[in-house]
Amino acid sequence: MSAELDKMMYSFVMEDVLKGVTISVPPGYVAAVYDLGRGVLKKVYTPGLHLKIPFWQKAKLFNVQTLEYTIDDEFNPEMVRALGDRPIEATTRDGVDLSVEGTVLLRLDVHQIPVIWQTIGEDFTQKIIRPTIRSRFRLIASRFTYEEISATKRDMIEVELKNELERIFFPRGIFVENVLLGKVVQL
């Protein structure tokens, strides 16, 4: 009985140690590693199987594929980490209150992942992305009339929004691939 218990305990310990030795990074992701002695390591682990020191290093996976940040009525604000938002309310240059829906396509810079993890953290959506997108949408909307936003200058507004978001996100390791305006409704 004691030998069986020893064998079982040994297998549990070995399984924990072996699982703690490797980092499995799937396609579309990279891993950053936190080392108890050196902090967040600068090296980024690409897809594949990698070794780490069990109990001493902790790996965190980050999605580096294109992320779709959708702004629409279907968004559930209860899901704090979800990529998206409710429609953004803004006031135009001619004083019209409106609600804007759309999509922002984002991607994390693979080489900046350790910096993102160390300076922003895992919840970068609620800390940086959501408040910045809301603020910049309102800023750009205030420069145009309702007619321009809803019909005549949508493409120009998308470019201005993209440039404004890039200016803020790029130094933080977030690429803005595109900004697409959706439904614009007068309130």
Per-residue confidence band for 12, with pLDDT thresholds at 50, 70 and 90:
very low
Q: Are residues 103 and 175 in the same domain?
A: yes
Q: For residue 18, what pLDDT is reported?
A: 55
Last residue of a domain, one of 22, 41, 63: 63
Q: Are residues 113 and 167 in the same domain?
A: yes
pLDDT in tens, 35-62: 999 999 999 999 999 999 888 999 999 9
If we measure between CA atoms, which residue out of 147, 172, 142 comes closest to residue 160? 142
pTM above 0.85, yes or no: no
Q: Are residues 91 and 58 in the same domain?
A: no
pLDDT score of 4 more than 70: no
Burial level of 67, CB count in 10 A (0-12/13-18/19+)? middle
Q: For residue 76, what pLDDT is reported?
A: 79
Last residue of a domain, one of 47, 63, 79: 63
pLDDT in tens, 120-140: 988 888 899 999 999 999 999
Q: Are residues 107 and 179 in the same domain?
A: yes
Q: Are residues 26 and 79 in the same domain?
A: no
Full 3-state SS string of the chain: CHHHHHHHHHHHHHHHHHHHHEEEECCCEEEEEEECCCEECCCCECCEEEECCCCCEEEEEEECCCEEEEECCCCCCCCCCCCEECCEEEECCCCCEEEEEEEEEEEECHHHHHHHHHHCCCCHHHHHHHHHHHHHHHHHHCCCCHHHHHHHCHHHHHHHHHHHHHHHHHHHCEEEEEEEEEEEEEC
* Mean pLDDT, rounded, for 13-33: 79
Q: For residue 19, what pLDDT is reported?
A: 61
Percent of the chain with pLDDT over 90: 72
- What's the total number of domains in the chain? 2
pLDDT score of 16 more than 80: no
pLDDT in tens, 138-177: 999 999 999 999 889 999 999 999 999 999 999 999 999 9
Percent of the chain with pLDDT over 70: 89
Average pLDDT, the chain: 88
Give the CA-trace dihedral at 173, 176, 177, 180, to 10 degrees. 160
Q: Are residues 76 and 163 in the same domain?
A: yes
If we measure between CA atoms, which residue out of 69, 70, 68 comes closest to residue 183? 70
User: What is the extent of the structural domain holding 36?
Assistant: 2-63
Q: Are residues 6 and 72 in the same domain?
A: no
Q: Are residues 30 and 72 in the same domain?
A: no
Last residue of a domain, one of 63, 87, 105: 63
CB 86 within 8 A of CB 77: yes
Q: Are residues 114 and 83 in the same domain?
A: yes
User: For residue 156, what is the domain's CATH number?
Assistant: 3.30.479.30
